[in-house]
Amino acid sequence: MDGKLVDILGEALSPDSLGIRKAQELARFLKGGTYPFATLRSASRKVDGTEGVVVDLSVEVGQEPMHDIRSVEPVAILFAASDEYGPEVLSLRTDFPQVPHRQLRDEEFPKGLCLYDEPYATVRLTWTPARFLERIRNWFRDTACGTLHRDDQPLEPILLAGGRYLVIPADLFARGTDEAPDKLWVLPRASSPEGEYFIARRLDQVTMQEQRSALAYLATTFECLPQPHGLIRKTPRNVLDVHNLTMPAGLDLLARLRDRMLNWNRGDAPLGARLVMIIFFPKSRTAAQAPEVSDIWAFMTVETVREIGAKLGFWQALPNGHVAALIGGDPDSAKAASIDVCVMHPAFALNRYRAALVNGYAPSTACITVIGVGALGSQVVTKLIRGGFGSWTLIDNDYLLPHNVARHELSQGAVGFPKAEMMQVLGNNITDDRPVTAAIVADLLAPRERKEQVEAALRSADLILDFSASVPVARHLATITLGPRRVSAFLNPDATDLVILAEDSQRRIPLDCLEMQYYRHLCHHSELAGHLVDRPTGRIRYAQTCRDLTSDIPEDLVAIHSAIAAKALREVSGDPNAAILIWRAAPDRSVTSFRSSPASFYESVHNDWRLRSDCNLLSRLASLRAERLKNETGGVLVGAFDLERRIVYVADVIPSPPDSSEQPVLYIRGCEGLAAHLQDIERKTDGMLQYVGEWHSHPDGISTNPSEDDRKVFGWLAEQMQTECLPPVMAIVGEGANIRWFVDGIA
């Protein structure tokens, strides 16, 4: 073996004549006599400039080694002139055992040692001859006792990657051999000095435009039986090598290939295509253990299917381009050695499961219906798809315009098309399992001919996400009973703040009730100052009419908030509780957050009006009453009117002004500071909250039935509200947190 290795290495030379720096350093170190565990035997140089140093290494071997490692191991260390790759270490023994962590080489002998799991660029920073030799000795020592491959390490690959990459369907072998297709189209992609790239697809997934290039390649699949890892011998270079690789794993490749190709002779496969064999290798840690993982490798032939079948004796090629099957006979294994192959490195296409895996999440198949795929919605949806989250239906009636592209996930090529449909195309190009199942170009509030389709999308969803930033849409979603819980996400006018309003899973706190509590938070929390006040100063005209204006909002703010929203919505979907969530981005783009657990929903019916509020507001009224006992007290109700749905929202309460008259059996509300207080509320909520009515208390022992004075006050209130065609609202707060409401009339 030594003489053969010298022939492989090239011309023998004196160690002092070595020209590569690392080879010189190693030879000098060994000749220096300070390292007792290695002896320098010889040196050589190949025609390409590679230099070799042959060394006898002393190895620590136990009395009962697991593998046949000797106390002295001869190795050749090869150094490339460029130092681009690490020194190659080869065992000189012809009987060196089959063990893990070896380098895959073109020939089985000499066997190469795999010393590092980090890139050579990292190793090179601290490489010294002493450290390198110790690394080799430790490799032999740990291999001898069977500890080189730790129990917590991944299993070794059957082969090592080449420069040709093949993307295969994510579920290609998910259902076992019987379900794996015997034919796939292979589409060439990019080609460069660094590698070639191909994509394998099922026959029904290739478009008409792709079929022409697909005819040049044809893939077929095989599955082996489980085998222990680390049994690498050499890189297969021809069909016989591949056959010999699969035979120990229970796959007679040549026989299976013969049966399959004779079936193809019926005319359902392009005989002029190059053949790609995709082979599934289940791997176990030891022969006695069940498979842990699997390798998938592919081998592309240089010759065509027609030529391969003729060489192997499956058929006879005819002058007209067809073939005639030959009866009987085994495949010609000698000819199989003349059919060259190149190793391809398969990679699974991205599906929902793998997308979630690489993002560190659990995959989700939840059916999600989205209302609005504008700037925020488009970015959130694609981020969630990239994270393996959801199966999507998109509803939006808008079309992409040029100015939208500045902040939208879609590009200029989608201008003039419906946002929903283009987002479906984009989303289904992210993962292999087409996560966007439907795109509905419709207005949720007036779907017209799409009404049944919209209602079906809402009804069948597991979650409804509203990115419309539209109060009418949110109110509509809140009041219709169709479908599951709703979550609304939107940005404030200058996009500094992100808001998420999430209903509970039972919809006990609907979206409109969350909206009112959100407004109340804006009024009472100083950290949210300016949330709806500081509107953007810049308005950009993107077309000709007076309404063709857009805000000069930075895209980076939308991107920051879309990332936050994607993470938050994933968490919200798994939390059955309602929530009000707000994030604020500072000018330096640092972000602070605000979270509130909403109060329970309260509703009462009065004639044809509904009054909606929440339990926190009811408790606040009871507390204000209790604070002023034994006197009566009162104040102003703040909220909103939804005249379309005949709903009065009571969102906040203003306590008794300081100039009010509070007596045991009489209350007359004052007005000091009241106008300014109401104006401040309207300013902080951008006019969403306003004065809606009056409240006052009754003392202990007195019912909440209205007195004659109360009726007079209500009559006055009705006159005041009638000027704006709004219903009067009054609350009487009594003992035991008993509150009686009156809307648009008093009995």
Catalytic positions are 632
- Yes or no: say if 71 and 169 are a contact pair by the CB < 8 Å rule: no
Element (H, E) at 584: strand 579-585
Number of C-alpha atoms within 13 angstroms, CB side, residue 260? 20
How many helices, marked H, and strands, marked E, lie in the chain?
Answer: 19, 36
171 phi, psi to nearest 5 deg: -110, 30
Triad 688, 691, 692: Cα angle to 5°: 100
Separation between Cα atoms, residue 180 and residue 365, nearest integer Å: 23
In a 10 Å sphere around its CB, with 0-12 CB exposed, 13-18 middle and 19+ buried, how is residue 347 labelled?
middle
Separation between Cα atoms, residue 662 and residue 684, nearest integer Å: 30
- Which amino acid, one-letter code, is at 261? M
Residues 6 or more apart whose CB falls under 8 angstroms from that of 378 comprise: 408, 409, 410, 419, 423
Whether the CA torsion 63, 67, 68, 69 is positive or negative: it is: negative
Name which of 551, 554, 556, 555 is nearest 536 in CA terms: 551
- Yes or no: say if 673 and 660 are a contact pair by the CB < 8 Å rule: no
Separation between Cα atoms, residue 88 and residue 114, nearest integer Å: 9
- Yes or no: say if 199 and 189 are a contact pair by the CB < 8 Å rule: yes
Number of C-alpha atoms within 13 angstroms, CB side, residue 154? 7
- Yes or no: say if 353 and 363 are a contact pair by the CB < 8 Å rule: yes
Triad 533, 536, 542: Cα angle to 5°: 145
Name which of 379, 596, 393, 588 is nearest 491 in CA terms: 379
Name which of 679, 677, 683 is nearest 533 in CA terms: 683
